[in-house]
Structure 1
Amino acid sequence: MKNTILIFGEQTGMIAQTPSRKESLKAALLDVITTVLILLWAFAALTKLLDYGHYRSDMHLQFFDGKVLHVLVPALPYTQICAALFLLSGRHRIYGLWLSMLLMMGFTVYVATVYYGYLSSHPKTCNGLFENSSWGGQLVINLGLLLVSVFGIILYQLKCNPWKTRP
């Protein structure tokens, strides 16, 4: 029963069924997406926490108000850790996917505002991950990771939706 899933029969209750090739592909893609996001958030958070002084000083060069920075600077790496932990938990993976999408939306909007000139150029606080990329390159990377997060949410819903119909 290693590769067996349970589905609800109309009148017979729960019955065992081996997942189709399509279902196995969805599960594998979801695992790849989850792994990429876990590595992203774990690395991003750890680099911020391991060189906290540099991260904090870079953040204070941003356009944010001091009161916002007082909350944002410590909250960001811990939010990234929470995203990674949610993604590690099969039971709470969907929360990690949604949190990943929200984080990537925020980062993408910020990078886009700098790239398109709405904000003057500020130092990037990537701390090693994509620090050598241009603002345009960073925007492309962020959009890609945002799409990965959205695709992960869609795959999760397709894989785990108990209301979908089966033949």
Structure 2
Amino acid sequence: MIRTFILLAGCGALAACASSTPTSGSSPAASAGAAQVARTEAPDLGALPTYGIPRGRCGMILYTLSGSKSLPVFRSTDEGRGLVEINGALTELSLVGRGGETRMAVPSSQYFRGQQADGTEVTVAAVTSWGTSFPSGSYVEAGTLTITAADGWSRVLPVAGIAGCRP
């Protein structure tokens, strides 16, 4: 019984401390420390307005789900170019690395770099697994699309899609 009383009293004291509001006697250093915390968040991806593979090129289009809708969020081509919409603006990307199995001139792992509309750098990594092949293409069974802003914040999306060549 005494242990239970001590435990409840300790929890009550902790709850009182956690819910108290700062008084006018708070130290200026504590207030200044809170104001110095950078408010940031990971880049927001939007649906690409146009996402077809250009004529005479091979490429990959990746989709993610938003509710019950599939949204095209990434396109890459065999010429080393990528495209995403970040924070409401189209961002063109340049291929900086690749790996994994290649189908239709498209590797399963691609790494890009680009500049957002505000001039800050962004990196995009598309790491995928191939699915069933079909004439002039292949399904992208599963994968992740990771978008990292210059401040280090990242957003990781599950994706699937299609790769192929357009005559």
TM over 0.5: no
- Greater share of helix residues, 1 or 2? 1
Tell which has more relative contact order, 1 or 2 (C-alpha 8 A, sep 6+): 1
Larger radius of gyration: 2
Q: TM-score, normalised by structure 2?
A: 0.30
Q: TM-score, normalised by structure 1?
A: 0.30
